[in-house]
Amino acid sequence: MTPRILVTGGAGFIGSAVVRHLIENTASEVANLDKLTYAGNLESLALVAGSSRYHFYQVDICDGAALDTVFARFKPTAIMHLAAESHVDRSIDAPADFVQTNMVGTYTLLEAARRYWSALQEPEKGSFRFHHISTDEVFGDLHGTDELFTEETAYAPSSPYSASKASSDHLVRAWQRTYGLPTLVTNCSNNYGPYHFPEKLVPHMILNALAGKALPVYGDGSQIRDWLYVEDHARALVEVVARGNIGETYNIGGHNEKRNLEVVEIICVLLEELAPEKPAGVLYYRDLITFVEDRPGHDVRYAIDSSKIQRELGWVPEESFDSGIRKTVQWYLDNRDWWERVLTGEYRLARLGSS
């Protein structure tokens, strides 16, 4: 039976990487279900939108009736749930959107999936999977230098964003425990790579530097994150939905801990090499680094122990931070049209793909 994968949030950064991977490297039929908020960009799927195995539905995961229609029409064998509000700063300014999408939306999707799954006959019912993709931010932060987040780490979210994602994780596990819905959960570290929305750290720094603008670093830049190349993450997610054990959680990390300031400095060094023609008035890209007031509740350190997914499913990241960040910087230099359309808002007019 050909897998039929429904990807929610498939026009987002990680979701589009998953869709591209599924179309380019598997035989799966893929449905991209996305509301197309500001972070949803169909132009990120231009390479696969023409495939006969790709389908697009512009649907809000909070709309249960619309979800029922998509389920009945597409008949998925698995759901990969990535639709979420994900920007911490935005969650501090407007938490209601995060509660609505990440909590209410996940609940609504779970109920639609349960209605659909309950009506399936064997063997389809037994092979169905609901894969919920989450973040390491649900664990709070680590203050020691040797501690790692494991699948058993207690939740201690610090921001409205991470609290809303923690809530959605709990809902997914409760639907598995209470109703028997066959779920899987993954928690990942910081992603970076091509097609990343410019508000996030790595693309924000690249594009600001190219424009000769300040590179704002929170506090002293000592916050540590584990960086995961998005295409490595996409491979891991597809392995989990295909071969993971029902009811299990898998942590996915890049094995690349870096201080935020170090990340910005590495980007500056790469730009010196790859984009030596600087904006007027800029002698060195690193001169643009500016320290700004730290944001409220800023976690100190995240670090993932991903030994379980390596041990059980054989996944390991292919990219080191050095190789991945070089690919990322070069991608932004080579794809100016993509990010310029994002910065001007023109991307929101794009409607590639069809339902």
pLDDT for 355 beyond 50: no
Please tell me the number of Cα atoms within 13 Å of 36 on its side-chain side: 18
What's the whole-number mean pLDDT along residues 111-136? 97
What is the predicted pLDDT for the residue at 240? 98
Reported as a single tens digit per residue, the pLDDT across 259-306 is 999 999 999 999 999 999 999 999 999 999 999 998 887 878 889 999
pLDDT for 36 beyond 90: yes
Catalytic option among 43, 60, 85, 137: 137
Residue 241 maps to a domain = yes
**Structural domains of the chain, count:** 1
Of the listed ranges 71-75, 92-96, 303-307, the least confidently predicted one is 92-96
Our answer to whether residue 161 is catalytic in this structure is yes
Domain that holds residue 8: 4-349
Residue 266 maps to a domain = yes
Residue 354 maps to a domain = no
What's the whole-number mean pLDDT along residues 180-199? 96
Percent of the chain surpassing pLDDT 70: 98
Reported as a single tens digit per residue, the pLDDT across 246-255 is 999 999 999 8
Residue 237 maps to a domain = yes
Catalytic option among 116, 161, 192, 285: 161
Residue 92 maps to a domain = yes
Residue 165: which of 95, 250, 102, 249 has the closest Cα? 102
Residue 283 maps to a domain = yes
Our answer to whether residue 136 is catalytic in this structure is yes
Check which CATH number belongs to the domain holding 220 and give it.
3.40.50.720
Residue 75 and residue 82 in contact, taking contact as beta carbons nearer than 8 Å: no
Catalytic option among 29, 34, 60, 136: 136
How remote is the C-alpha of 119 from its chain's centroid?
A: 31
What is the predicted pLDDT for the residue at 254? 93
Residue 67 maps to a domain = yes
Residue 12 maps to a domain = yes
What is the predicted pLDDT for the residue at 354? 41
What's the whole-number mean pLDDT along residues 97-117? 96
What is the predicted pLDDT for the residue at 352? 44
What is the predicted pLDDT for the residue at 350? 56
Q: In whole angstroms, how far apart are CA 93 and each of 165, 201, 275?
A: 17, 18, 35
What's the whole-number mean pLDDT along residues 158-168? 94
Our answer to whether residue 24 is catalytic in this structure is no
What's the whole-number mean pLDDT along residues 97-124? 97
Tell me, yes or no, if the pTM score tops 0.85: yes
